[in-house]
């Protein structure tokens, strides 16, 4: 039978309309946007049109869209660039973040601490992995260079109260960054209304091309470039523009935002149907993340007495593509820091399963999945020592 893909949080397929928008810039309109001739002008026009489209989708200003190679680079630029600028301009030497960040943020913060001497404070999270804005008020101070809190968690799907966190940061004049790589595919985002100073997105999470992202910032936020060279992207991200991919990101984001309501309702119905079946049919299964304040396509569990990585391998052989927690952690025998942060034991955290749905997911596919998952879990439990 045809394999069933249930790992849309890891990546999505390319929307045919996105691919169509990109194709002319691979061969016909292939000019370098930094060139002054006809071909270069066409490339530059495409980049600026894309910038305008992204700014419209997120309610930001076009001049503050910085195109990058993906979410990871955007996170790096936001964290390093803003923190180093804050220390250089006002002596701020603390970074406030959370224990449930994507590795692109967590490992960058760790390097800033170990190699650059920044002090790091970690906000507590509750059993759903959610931040309390009141804790932000308690931890933040004038020595805080940057606050970085994930918008929607990639492992457990929980959506944070970003607007409230942003309000606290804005009231004290402290830059607020959020990794919205997962959120941009499933939520309507408004930079200004939510008081977000720096926002990270990646195209391949919303049916765009891999290797393309953006950092969106508010005009008053200043940062140092972390990739130097030419003057592209307001001097903050040197390198020849990847025109077709930039066009693809903008088109994919436009489609995602316009089809939000239709997709959201369908995905929530499928997600809740799946969660109900798994919790009803598999003993000692626990939903991780918030039961309702979570991404519409995201279902995540821990299963007692199961090795999550082994389960993913067996499911793959049975024709189902899922993951054990973060796609970036697949194959890692260590328990997820995110799951440990929400109070799970190492043993339980190792039994994680993440099932994420997409535009092509059907109820029939979920029925097939659960029908296979139930006996697989029972069989694997019998083989555990």
130 has a pLDDT exceeding 70? yes
Which whole number is the average pLDDT over 311-332? 82
Beta strands in the chain (DSSP E): 4-5, 65-68, 94-97, 119-122, 144-148, 176-179, 198-202, 213-217, 285-287, 298-303, 320-321, 352-356
Q: Are 359 and 239 found together in one domain?
A: no
Q: SS3 for 24?
A: helix
Burial of 16 (0-12, 13-18, 19+ CB in 10 A): exposed
Q: Are 360 and 223 found together in one domain?
A: no
105 has a pLDDT exceeding 80? yes
Structure tokens of 38? 């006809």
Q: Are 279 and 186 found together in one domain?
A: no
pLDDT score at 215: 98
Cα separation, 186 vs 109, whole angstroms: 26
262 has a pLDDT exceeding 60? yes
Under DSSP, the state recorded for 328 is: G
Radius of gyration over alpha carbons of the chain, in Å? 21
Which whole number is the average pLDDT over 138-166? 98
90 has a pLDDT exceeding 60? yes
pLDDT score at 1: 81
Contact 158, 165 (CB under 8 A): no
Which position among 52, 321, 328, 376 bears the catalytic label? 328
Q: Are 194 and 275 found together in one domain?
A: no
Select from 258, 292, 327 the last residue of a domain.
258
Q: Are 253 and 268 found together in one domain?
A: no
Give the residue with greater pLDDT, 328 vs 212: 212
269 has a pLDDT exceeding 70? yes
Q: Are 285 and 329 found together in one domain?
A: yes
Select from 239, 258, 277 the last residue of a domain.
258
Contact 95, 123 (CB under 8 A): no
Give the residue with greater pLDDT, 385 vs 109: 109
Q: Are 139 and 254 found together in one domain?
A: yes
Select from 220, 242, 258 the last residue of a domain.
258
Annotated active-site residue 169? The verdict is no
Structure tokens of 50? 């894309």
Residue-range definition of the domain harbouring residue 369: 4-12+260-383
Q: Are 248 and 299 found together in one domain?
A: no
Q: What is the mean pLDDT of the chain?
A: 95
Strands 65-68 and 213-217: antiparallel
Q: Are 244 and 114 found together in one domain?
A: yes
119 has a pLDDT exceeding 70? yes
Domain count, the chain: 2
85 has a pLDDT exceeding 80? yes
For 330-358, how does the pLDDT look when each residue is reduced to its tens digit (9 = 90+)? 555 688 999 999 999 999 999 999 999 99
pLDDT score at 185: 93
CATH classification of the domain holding 281: 3.90.1150.10
Q: Are 214 and 67 found together in one domain?
A: yes
Which whole number is the average pLDDT over 128-140? 98
């Amino acid at each position: 039978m045809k394999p069933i893909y249930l790992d849309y949080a890891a990546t999505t397929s390319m929307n045919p309309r996105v691919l169509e928008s990109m194709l002319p810039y691979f061969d016909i309109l292939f000019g370098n946007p930094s060139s002054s001739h006809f071909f270069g002008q066409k490339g530059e026009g495409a980049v600026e049109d894309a910038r305008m489209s992204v700014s419209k989708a997120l309610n930001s200003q076009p001049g503050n869209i910085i195109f990058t190679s993906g979410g990871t680079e955007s996170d790096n630029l936001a964290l390093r660039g803003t923190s180093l600028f804050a220390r250089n301009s006002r002596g701020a030497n603390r970074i406030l973040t959370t224990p449930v960040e994507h590795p692109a943020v967590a490992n960058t913060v760790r390097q800033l601490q170990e190699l650059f001497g920044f002090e790091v404070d970690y906000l507590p999270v509750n059993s759903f992995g959610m931040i309390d804005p009141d804790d932000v008020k308690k931890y933040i101070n004038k020595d805080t260079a940057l606050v970085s809190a994930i918008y929607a968690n990639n492992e457990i799907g929980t959506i944070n109260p970003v607007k409230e966190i942003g309000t606290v940061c804005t009231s004290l004049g402290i830059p607020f960054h959020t990794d919205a790589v997962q959120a941009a595919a499933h939520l309507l985002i408004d930079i200004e209304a939510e008081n977000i100073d720096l926002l990270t997105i990646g195209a391949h999470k919303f049916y765009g091309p891999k290797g393309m992202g953006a950092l969106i910032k508010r005009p008053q936020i200043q940062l140092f470039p972390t990739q130097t060279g030419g003057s592209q992207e307001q001097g903050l991200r040197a390198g020849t523009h990847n025109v077709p991919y930039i066009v693809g990101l903008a088109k994919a984001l436009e489609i995602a935002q316009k089809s939000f309501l239709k997709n959201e309702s369908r995905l929530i119905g499928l997600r809740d149907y799946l969660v109900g079946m798994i919790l009803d049919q598999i003993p000692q299964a626990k939903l991780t993340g918030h039961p309702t304040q979570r991404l519409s396509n995201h279902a995540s569990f821990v299963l007692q007495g199961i090795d999550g990585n082994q389960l993913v391998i067996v499911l793959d052989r049975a024709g189902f593509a899922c993951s054990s927690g973060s796609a970036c952690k697949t194959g890692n025998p260590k328990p997820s820091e995110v799951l440990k942060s929400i109070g799970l034991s190492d043993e339980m955290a190792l039994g994680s399963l993440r099932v994420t749905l997409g535009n092509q997911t059907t109820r029939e596919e979920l029925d097939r999945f659960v029908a296979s998952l139930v006996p697989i879990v029972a069989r694997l439990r019998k083989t555990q020592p």
